[in-house]
A = this chain, B = another copy of it.
């Protein structure tokens, strides 16, 4: 058989210990769903720009990022679908901002802290 049952753990105590406090697959999937939304250079920078500038339209976002509008539109599509960004239409311009219920920990830890730390770190993993 290819996929051996591996019936006997090598360190049963540690397996039990890990098993007991591991997040469930369901919890992990929820969190990683959010994280992978942030784990993209364009989306991360869109969120960051909205965080510091309050409200921006697609064209201005593209201008600020130096990206093309297609990329930004696609990024916003996903972020809106996930409920992280909300849009407000005024005339023919659509203004985007972070949703009022944007997960605070995500903003604190990823947008603020991690970005700042990365900024001050030369190139930790160029190997």
Contact = CB atoms under 8 A, between A and B. Distances in A.
Nearest to A41: B28
A21 B125 CA distance: 23
Interface residues of A, number: 68
28 contacts: A6-B59, A6-B62, A9-B63, A10-B57, A10-B93, A11-B60, A14-B54, A15-B53, A15-B63, A15-B64, A18-B48, A18-B61, A22-B48, A22-B52, A23-B119, A25-B45, A28-B41, A28-B45, A30-B118, A31-B114, A32-B41, A33-B125, A35-B39, A35-B110, A38-B39, A39-B39, A109-B110, A109-B114
Q: So how many copies of this chain end up in the complex?
A: 2
Contacts of A54: 14
